[in-house]
Chain A
Amino acid sequence: MPHDHSDHDHPHSLLPSDPALRVKALETILTQKGLVDPAALDEIIDTYENRIGPRNGAEVVARAWSDPDFKAALLEDADPVLAELGLYGRQGEHMVVVENTDDVHNMVVCTLCSCYPWPLLGIPPGWYKSDAYRARAVREPRKVLAEFGVTLPEGCAVRVWDSTAEVRYLVLPRRPAGTEGLDASALADLVNRDCMIGCGLAGAS
């Protein structure tokens, strides 16, 4: 039988205890060995700080609100639709988009770690990775929603999607009333990050 070695030996304890020093020490050693190029680290950080974030998802949502054929294709099989928009990539290889309606409100969590659709939303916010969200979103989603200022009508069911595989979920929020005349950019401005996780409503600030 295969054997799980990992419970005994924890070399990380050899690093300094202060986390900033731990990271620095590891980067130093890896750079000295030629295993890490600090310029590549800068490039990765710049990507997720400045280039890949929730505006990507917001533009997809805005288009789905205004183009019924696009929306139908997105809900049927999101991957080719997103690939065509250049929104394929790490932690977004297998996307499913779930639509909020009058009767169903969708919410996304990863109880086991912090799986999240990076190409559409960037890296996850602190609260998404928190023990409180991971523990509570599946058991008491309505109380969690209340902490985001969201109260659902009594007749609306909640579907919480726990991201336990490599499939990543994006919520298509309900389009706010009175937005018929808005163009794509103005519509995307209404789409905040939290509503695409299912912890907010579009049009709320």
Chain B
Amino acid sequence: MTRIHDMGGRFGDGAVIPEPEDVKFHADWHPRALALTLACGSLGLWNIDVSRHARETLAPKDYARFAYYEKWIAALADLLVETGALEAEELAAGQAQADSPLAAKVLKADAVAGVLARGGPADRPSNVAPRFAVGDSVRLRARPENMAVPGGHTRLPAYAAGSQARIVRLHGSHVLPDSNAHRLSEAPEPLYAVALRAADIWAHPEHPDDEVILDVWDSYLEPI
């Protein structure tokens, strides 16, 4: 079973509404929410997979009704309390109760450009050898679930689970989100781009030659 964020292929969402390039945000609090999330991320209390999982584990009714940056802020508040950076009482009171021992790590304005430019690369050396080569036929794991942690994070979408696929690219070895999201280890593995035929994943594909390509880790795959 999967979580509410896994919506690829879902019916009923209506039209996509294009918008001009100069529209960056839709409310004054949106850029503030973005910046708060990035600034707190630089404290080093969590990795990107932990933060994605925090958004995904919002209650489905909240995930569905929250605007995009509301999900970010809710997950941020949850993570700050989970990691002990804030106390629940502080959130409830709207006031800090004590200085933080982490304050020495605060992101200062003059460090922002460097932090954004450095990014957070996910490629790592790995002792897992690629089992597959470009052109190989494979099958994606049948269950779009974290296989080690019940209800845990994974990047295998439900629409792709169980499908046959063709390897189209090897990206090198990358951190495995299914492990890293739970602070187990980075567990790097070979990462591939695999192509799925639309006719293999949808009952009513728009066109027989269309494909969906997604990135998957070695442990998501089995040989055919």
Q: How far is the CB of A119 from chain B (nearest CB, A)?
A: 8
B211 touches which one: A14, A140, A158 (CB < 8 A)?
A158
Query: By the criterion CB–CB under 8 Å, are B8 and A47 in contact?
Result: no
Tell whether B1 is near chain A: CB-to-CB under 8 Å.
no
Residues of B within 8 A of A (CB): 5-11, 13-19, 21, 23-29, 31-36, 38-40, 43, 48, 52-55, 57-59, 62, 66-70, 73-78, 80-82, 85-86, 88, 90-92, 94-96, 98-100, 102-103, 106-109, 111-113, 115-123, 148-152, 155-157, 159-160, 169, 171, 174-175, 177, 182, 184, 191, 193, 195, 202, 206-207, 209-217
Residues of B within 8 A of A144 (CB): 16
Q: How far is the CB of A201 from chain B (nearest CB, A)?
A: 13
Q: How far is the CB of A182 from chain B (nearest CB, A)?
A: 20
Residues of B within 8 A of A100 (CB): none
CA distance A193 to B20 in the complex (A): 9
B7 touches which one: A16, A88, A135 (CB < 8 A)?
A135
Q: How far is the CB of A67 from chain B (nearest CB, A)?
A: 24
A–B complex contacts, Cβ < 8 Å, 17 sampled: A9-B82, A28-B95, A33-B96, A35-B100, A37-B106, A39-B108, A49-B25, A90-B117, A93-B122, A94-B123, A96-B193, A132-B15, A134-B8, A135-B11, A144-B16, A164-B156, A165-B155
CA distance A136 to B8 in the complex (A): 7
Residues of A within 8 A of B120 (CB): 90, 93
CA distance A123 to B68 in the complex (A): 13
Query: By the criterion CB–CB under 8 Å, are B34 and A48 in contact?
Result: yes
Q: How far is the CB of A58 from chain B (nearest CB, A)?
A: 10
Tell whether A102 is near chain B: CB-to-CB under 8 Å.
no
Interface size on A, residues (CB 8 A): 95
Residues of A within 8 A of B (CB): 1-7, 9-12, 14-16, 19-20, 22-30, 32-37, 39-45, 47-49, 52-54, 88-94, 96, 109, 111-114, 122-123, 125-127, 129-144, 147-148, 157-167, 192-194, 199
B149 touches which one: A4, A45, A166 (CB < 8 A)?
A4
Query: By the criterion CB–CB under 8 Å, are A90 and B74 in contact?
Result: no
Query: By the criterion CB–CB under 8 Å, are A6 and B211 in contact?
Result: no
Query: By the criterion CB–CB under 8 Å, are A23 and B32 in contact?
Result: yes
In the complex, what residue of chain A is closest to B168 when comparing beta carbons? A159
Query: By the criterion CB–CB under 8 Å, are A140 and B6 in contact?
Result: no
With A92-B119, A126-B23, A129-B68 as contacts: A6 and B8 at CB distance below 8 Å = no
CA distance A45 to B121 in the complex (A): 22
Residues of B within 8 A of A114 (CB): 68
B107 touches which one: A40, A90, A123, A131 (CB < 8 A)?
A40
Query: By the criterion CB–CB under 8 Å, are A94 and B121 in contact?
Result: yes
